Amino acid sequence: MDSKLIAFATQDVPRYTSYPTAVQFDSDFPGSTADEWLSGLAPETRLSVYVHIPFCRQLCWYCGCHTSVPNGYDRAARYVEYLVRDIRRSASIFGGRKGLVTHLHFGGGTPTYLDDFHIAELVEAIDTGFGLAPGGEVALESDPRTLTRERARVLARMGFNRISFGVQDFATPVQMRINRLQTYGLVAAANDYLREAGFASVNFDLMYGLPGQTVESVARTAQQAAGLKPDRISVFGYAHVPWFKKHQKMINDADLPGVHGRYAQATMIETGLNAQGYASIGLDHFALEHDELTRAARNGTMRRNFQGYTTDVSDALIAFGASAIGEFSHGFAQSARDTLEWSQHIERGESPVVRGIVTTPEDRMRAEAIERLMCDLNVNVAEIAARHGLDAAVFSDLGERMAPAIAAGIASLNGAHVTVPAEQRLFLRNVAAAFDTHFVSAPNRHARAV
């Protein structure tokens, strides 16, 4: 890596799955505002629904998600009861047309920690309350260690057609250091079960920067993963924040690659996946030619939301579960992170939303500029300002804000046109930060760029 890039690679910058980002949310945001946004949606609004399941069978030491390992299944069963109550309450507030949920996504944690009965109960509650659109995407994140042939068939019968697996790295020495032992054979078998059951799309998550990983180990993992032909592969850098995620203290700092190692691993994975027919998409996704994400990336219709890159073009995101974030045209609304606090709100028949932000017209314009840059690697800020009815002069300081990135060769500015060269896509978040008027560069607030 060129020495000019080190300062950017080690900079902590937002992931820009939303703008403003979650750290800007107001911490005493009234739940009644989220209910007003919900009741104000037009009856024909296309909806996306997210359900958060904050439970796992065992904790991976690298985990940065909002999850826990419950003492027994009862806790998860009670959680599902509250989810169903909140889904019914929200559906009655919405009161719009049924059948417009084009995307339903179960994330976590590990949604397949739940048994089949509880997953089916949740799908039914959403279908009854909001209505799944025919042919819509019904997706879940899963742990291949929780998937059997029968389970894959049952999930397909419930309507699931897309699944995402955490693979991370196939090397046993790496897996031992992150408390996640899953052999290549186990992942390959789970992949076969999903294809047999008729899943239209399978996504693998890989990581770099994990303890014990080397350029050679990630190259081999990328080759093995691509050999199983998942439709999409997402690649994330490990964020080591043991002061924030206590279980990461189980990871020995001395086993972690440095900035040059992380950069070399990330670029090696990209080279390996490209060689196996995977197109580079946005910051950190890869997809085969036939995949609709590849088409969306090429024709400029790809979107970026809390689940990462997506073809989802819904007008509102309704979120259920502890810590889940909903998105409306007026702003963002996040439920309580603590499951007890979250359930107490629902018990009282009120919204579990406790954090959020009302966005301004300028926020919404900047959000679109950042989203287009993160998706397309280029953006015309004058066009976006005009579309939002604002004066492009709001971007008049962009040249000054982007000057270090331009000098380092990770971005260019021609008139109103900002471009990040494809070979510098790892630095997209650094360049996007130039559009972010809320951003304060400070260590440990966000994940490192590389």
Place of tokens 């946004």: 37
Place of tokens 């081999």: 220
Question: Helices marked H in 278-408 — which ranges?
Answer: 292-299, 339-347, 361-376, 381-387, 398-408
| Contact between 166 and ligand SF4 per CB under 6 A | yes
Report the SS3 class of residue 286: strand
User: Which sign does the torsion angle of CA 33, 39, 43, 47 carry?
Assistant: positive
Among 109, 212, 321, 356, interactor with ligand SF4 by CB under 6 A? 109
Q: Could you say which residues in the range 119-158 bind ligand SF4, by CB under 6 A? A: 143
Query: At a CB cut-off of 8 Å and minimum separation 6, what does 213 contact?
Result: 169, 171, 174, 207, 257, 261, 265
State phi, psi for 325 to the nearest 5 degrees.
-115, 125
Residue 336 is encoded by which pair of tokens?
């309580």
Binding mask 17-56 for ligand SF4 (x = CB under 6 A): ---------------------------------------x
Among 48, 102, 110, 175, interactor with ligand SF4 by CB under 6 A? 110
Distance, CA of 393 to CA of 391 (rounded, Å): 5
CB of residue 418 vs ligand SF4: minimum separation in angstroms?
Answer: 34
CB of residue 252 vs ligand SF4: minimum separation in angstroms?
Answer: 18
| Contact between 63 and ligand SF4 per CB under 6 A | yes
Place of tokens 């080690």: 10
Residue 434 is encoded by which pair of tokens?
């130039």
Among 60, 138, 206, 413, interactor with ligand SF4 by CB under 6 A? 60
| Contact between 108 and ligand SF4 per CB under 6 A | yes
Report the candidate in 213, 218, 204 with the shortest Cα–Cα distance to residue 271.
218
Nearer to ligand SF4, 65 or 431 (CB): 65
| Contact between 251 and ligand SF4 per CB under 6 A | no
| Contact between 112 and ligand SF4 per CB under 6 A | no
Query: Which range of residues in 33-41, 76-84, 106-114, 156-164 is near ligand SF4 by CB under 6 A?
Result: 106-114
CB of residue 185 vs ligand SF4: minimum separation in angstroms?
Answer: 19
Place of tokens 């799908």: 123
CB of residue 432 vs ligand SF4: minimum separation in angstroms?
Answer: 25
Q: At what angle do helices 339-347 and 73-94 cross, to 10 degrees?
A: 50
Query: Which range of residues in 105-113, 191-199, 294-302, 430-438 is near ligand SF4 by CB under 6 A?
Result: 105-113
CB of residue 380 vs ligand SF4: minimum separation in angstroms?
Answer: 38
Distance, CA of 142 to CA of 149 (rounded, Å): 14
Place of tokens 């899953």: 182
Nearer to ligand SF4, 60 or 119 (CB): 60
CB of residue 270 vs ligand SF4: minimum separation in angstroms?
Answer: 22
For residue 381, count CB atoms less than 10 angstroms from its CB and return exposed for 0-12, middle for 13-18, buried for 19 or more: buried
Among 33, 48, 67, 351, interactor with ligand SF4 by CB under 6 A? 67
Place of tokens 């629904």: 49
Radius of gyration of the chain (CA): 21
Query: How many residues form the binding site for ligand SF4 (CB under 6 A)?
Result: 11
State phi, psi for 306 to the nearest 5 degrees.
-60, -20
Query: Which range of residues in 60-68, 195-203, 225-233, 396-404 is near ligand SF4 by CB under 6 A?
Result: 60-68
Nearer to ligand SF4, 240 or 366 (CB): 240
Among 65, 138, 139, 325, interactor with ligand SF4 by CB under 6 A? 65
Query: Which range of residues in 104-112, 295-303, 372-380, 418-426 is near ligand SF4 by CB under 6 A?
Result: 104-112
Nearer to ligand SF4, 250 or 416 (CB): 250
Residue 397 is encoded by which pair of tokens?
């300081």
Query: Which range of residues in 103-111, 371-379, 398-406, 436-444 is near ligand SF4 by CB under 6 A?
Result: 103-111
Counts for the chain of helices (H) and strands (E), in that order:
15, 17
Question: Helices marked H in 184-241 — which ranges?
Answer: 184-197, 215-227
The residues that touch ligand SF4, with contacts defined as CB under 6 A, are 56, 59-60, 63, 65, 67, 108-110, 143, 166
